[in-house]
């Protein structure tokens, strides 16, 4: 046990709302866990800590420079854009993340959205509860199309671990898979065809986003890209909200150009009441929970503890600012 090491968790509630244990982390040092931390509380709460763990609380240059004891930032997620890596590197602060913990859960969410849209699951459940099936003269009740995925084309933007998992499921459903990726064709699993972005958007029946948020990808799904998509196509985004121009997507849905969209992420989270997508009934929104299965969060917890333990042993792992 490293009692001399001070560990502060800035926003632990999302990853562990109480159903998991902090005990393995507490065994590594003097540990304080905050459910949530406002931006103006970060410096005071992290003062004197050598190790700070954060999920979405920003660790920018000013914050890092205000914490002279800081030696390690552990991001409790895969994406680490909340940390100023250059500032951390300049001040000798190691930054780690937790890769691939949510791969299967996010891939499952992609198809939860897709199957909900193509099979109208929410719609027919609501209709049944409202008594519409009771009124049917037939054993079945059908007032909106049900779409079979077999033979359709899924375009995947980004072929990391989650994109690859989505492709595997799509292939199992009999879909054709196009991938926009930096990987060469020979590095892709069998059945996946590499394609440029124009081809992916113009020929796919379903597009699923799995790329990181960068200066180049921010707003990549804009009015022009949406217009490229086939009429009746479906957009799924479980990656990052700002990849999509939400006003343009709202227009594409309102016009009927797109059949639907399934979003687990939005440009601003928590959701703003003014978001134009809220007025679109064919936009299916879940509150950024694709990563949050109990199993995925336990893997997250296991890896973040292993990351801290490895750092304390002098052999840091999953370092993102080396």
Active-site residue 240, yes or no? yes
Contact (CB, 8 A) for 271 and 287: yes
- Which position among 180, 288, 297, 299 bears the catalytic label? 288
Residue whose entry in the numeric block shows the structure tokens 């990391």: 160
| Angle, in degrees to the nearest 10, between helices 103-119 and 294-312 | 160
**Terminal C-alpha separation, the chain:** 26
Catalytic residue among 41, 148, 269, 295: 269
Candidate list 210, 225, 240, 297, residue with the active-site label: 240
Distances (CA, A) of 3 to 27, 34, 70: 8, 19, 16
237 and 264 Cβ atoms separated by less than 8 Å: yes
CA dist 62 → 22, 59, 68, 96, 192 (Å): 29, 8, 11, 19, 44
d(CA 88, CA 273): 35
d(CA 151, CA 170): 10
Q: Which of 62, 69, 8, 89 is nearest to 320 (CA)?
A: 89
Contact 138, 192 (CB under 8 A): no
Q: How far is CA 124 from CA 110, 115, 134, 206, in A?
A: 20, 13, 12, 22
Active site residue 269: yes
Catalytic site positions? 240, 269, 288
């Amino acid at each position: 046990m490293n009692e001399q090491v001070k560990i502060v968790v800035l926003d632990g509630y999302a990853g562990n709302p109480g159903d998991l244990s902090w005990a393995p982390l507490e065994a590594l040092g003097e540990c304080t866990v905050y459910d949530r931390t406002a931006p103006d509380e970060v410096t005071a709460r992290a003062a004197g800590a050598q190790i700070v763990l954060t999920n979405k609380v920003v660790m920018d240059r000013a914050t890092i420079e205000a914490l002279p004891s800081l030696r390690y930032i552990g991001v409790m997620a895969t994406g680490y854009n909340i940390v100023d890596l250059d500032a951390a590197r300049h001040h000798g602060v190691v930054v780690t993340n937790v890769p691939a913990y949510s791969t299967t859960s996010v891939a499952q969410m992609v198809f939860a959205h897709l199957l909900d849209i193509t099979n109208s699951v929410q719609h027919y459940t609501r209709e049944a509860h409202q008594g519409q099936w009771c009124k049917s003269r037939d054993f079945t009740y059908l007032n909106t199309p049900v779409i079979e995925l077999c033979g359709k084309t899924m375009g995947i933007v980004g072929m990391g671990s989650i994109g690859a998992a989505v492709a595997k499921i799509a292939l199992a459903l009999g879909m054709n898979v196009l991938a926009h990726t930096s990987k060469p064709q020979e590095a892709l699993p069998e059945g996946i065809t590499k394609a440029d972005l124009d081809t992916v958007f113009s020929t796919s029946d379903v597009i699923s986003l799995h790329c990181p948020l960068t200066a180049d990808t921010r707003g990549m799904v804009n009015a022009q890209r949406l217009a490229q998509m086939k009429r009746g196509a479906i957009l799924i985004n479980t990656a990052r909200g700002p990849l999509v121009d939400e006003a343009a997507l709202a227009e594409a849905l309102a016009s009927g150009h797109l059949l639907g969209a399934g979003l687990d992420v939005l440009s601003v989270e928590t959701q703003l009441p003014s978001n134009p997508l809220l007025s679109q009934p064919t936009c299916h929104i879940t509150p950024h929970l694709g990563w949050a299965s109990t199993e995925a969060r336990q893997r997250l917890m296991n890896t973040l503890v292993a990351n801290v333990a490895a750092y304390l042993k002098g052999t840091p792992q999953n370092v993102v600012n080396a």
